[in-house]
Amino acid sequence: MFKGSYVALVTPMHADGKVDQRSLEALVKFHIDNGTHGIVAVGTTGESATLPFNEHIDVVKDVVKLVDKKIPVMAGSGANSTAEAIFLSEQMADTGVDGFLSVVPYYNKPQQAGMVAHFEAIADATDIPLMLYNVPGRTVADMLPDTVAQLAEHKNIVGIKDATGDLQRYATTKALVPDDFLFFSGDDETGCNFMCEGGDGVISVTANVVPQAMSKMCNAALKGDVEAAQMINKDITELHRQLFIEPNPVMPKWALYKMGLIEDAFLRLPMVLPELNSKNAIEEVLSALKLI
């Protein structure tokens, strides 16, 4: 079920902080119309860290309803408290989501054995497929290949989003897990190479802005057409970089606002709007790509 370009969807908000339902509907339509293979709702890019449980669950419900089974929906269900991650998973289990994405606990810095216990407890809580998410740049704790291999034995743990950007890490881990264990890149700059080396997909920030290009790149890579995938990726390489010049999701929200796809670039504190030089940099790239 899980293959190709999955957008790490932003959560659009009004200036008063409320979720912007009209823009959310427009974004979902934008992705379905432009070939996005799946949506990740309320992950890091969806500001999961600052949405309270009720809003988090409501946004996931809304996305599932808007998608209407046209493409798969994966819901962010991670937390640095195992009990909270289980609670979120249980509350979203009957929303119609196709999978969960659960991040390595942040701030706590758990041992590898703690990560195993954490994810096994979450996977035991529902029957919905669970994808692990390793992003040591944000969590500090790094889930090692042997740990992934141990977790891959669980019937509900189906894959990993690897945001290390380390292609050797991918190769090392793949050699330790079953053939059907899924590997998604969580690093847009290296995502094309990740897929060309055998990865199953990307969970992409860049796909918020250029869903069609990301979808075509993934399609080419999945067919083994490395040259075509790399040619598509070359055109958006600078966009990959500029979307991360400030902490995610600051820049994708600003880009979508300038493209007229969301009504406001508002973010929940402690995130704020980008600096002027960052705005200028991303707008220059958007202009070059004829997006604004």
Bind-site residues: 45, 203
DSSP state of 32: H
> DSSP string of 138-203?
HHS----HHHHHHHTTSTTEEEEEE-S--HHHHHHHHTTS-TT-EEEE--HHHHHHHHHTT--EEE
Is 161 designated active site? yes
Q: How many whole angstroms separate alpha carbon 263 and alpha carbon 13?
A: 8
State the number of CA atoms in the 13 A half-sphere of 148 facing the CB: 28
User: Which own/partner pairs from 235-238 qualify as long-range (CB within 8 Å, at least 24 positions apart)?
Assistant: 235/289, 236/206, 236/210, 236/289, 237/189, 238/285, 238/288
Q: Which candidate in 6, 61, 161, 258 is catalytic?
A: 161
106 is catalytic: no
Q: Which are the contacts of 276, defined by CB distance < 8 A and separation ≥ 6?
A: none
Residue 205 · residue 8 · CB < 8 Å: yes
Question: How far does Cα 113 stand from its chain's mean position?
Answer: 25
* Binding residue positions for pyruvate: 45, 203
Q: Which of 18, 69, 106, 133 is catalytic?
A: 133
State the catalytic residues.
133, 161
